[in-house]
Amino acid sequence: MSAVIVDGKAVAAELRAELAERIVEMSAGGEVPPSLAVVLCGDDPASAIYVRNKGRAAERAGVRFELHRPSGESSTAELVDLVRSLDADAGVDGILVQLPLPPQIDAAAVMACISPEKDADGFHPYNFGLLAEGHPGVVAPGTPLGCMELLRRSQFEIRGSRAVVIGRSAIVGRPLALLLTNADATVTICHSRTPDLAGVCREADILVAAIGRPRMVDASYVKPGAFVIDVGTTPRDGVVVGDVDRESVEPVAGWLTPVPGGVGPMTIAMLLRTTVALARARRGLAPE
């Protein structure tokens, strides 16, 4: 029996439609639509594509999208001034600084200028701390949130399951492990120095591959019937390749997110959902 291929594009489209309805309701109540300000500095082609996709998705959902494109020669001080001005702007609900920034810029100094209340990417240490403490409704990075949403919309029972996350980055691995823990899964974080990595992974009901090694996870890593989430996105010969060897894993897994078309579309959809949540909080509206 082959795995169910989880269609992230379809789920993301459902989410955007739901968000569009909420935004219409907010506007009908006299509120201004939520707004997202994105700072894109430099000429990284992948970043430009990501930002363009974010802008299109935002416009379709009814989120006001502001793109700021400072010169790639900008200094840290110039970017800090820009981000501080956006943070002080009452018309901006969420702020996202697209990474990576040019090498001459201190990315940490720029990101520190975003207040937790406008942290659309969920990278602020304060929001990460709330997540670690298990607070409900916290702001978190879009990719981990998208993974959780795919699990829930697939009606997979997270509570009581054994989850293994390969990768410990602050953008995906660590926050996703916390989200799974908060949802009552028993979680193990693995990495390149984990002994018998395949053996540990075979114990997982939920296996997340977020290590950035193309097709590293094959059938020997997968428990029959497991929900396998592929977060990897490595360009290779003109196509994007995941961390999971789909041909090997699909006959073994119960569910599998494809690359492309799995987690990727969910990242943007969850960014928009976070922006709407930040806007509601800033307006004193009840969370949804």
Residues annotated catalytic, as ranges: 54, 98, 121
Answer whether 118's CB lies under 8 Å from 92's CB: yes
E runs forming strands in the chain: 4-5, 35-39, 64-68, 94-97, 162-166, 186-190, 206-209, 227-230, 234-236, 239-241, 255-256
Which residues have C-beta within 8 Å of that of residue 166, sequence separation ≥ 6?
Answer: 173, 190, 191, 197, 201, 207, 208, 209, 210, 211, 217, 243
**In degrees to the nearest 10, what's the CA dihedral of 205, 209, 210, 213?**
160
Distance of CA 69 to the CA centre of its chain: 22
Beta bridge partners of 4: 255
Q: How many C-beta neighbours within 10 Å does residue 10 have? A: 12
Answer whether 262's CB lies under 8 Å from 6's CB: yes
Backbone angles phi, psi at 234, to 5 degrees: -115, 120
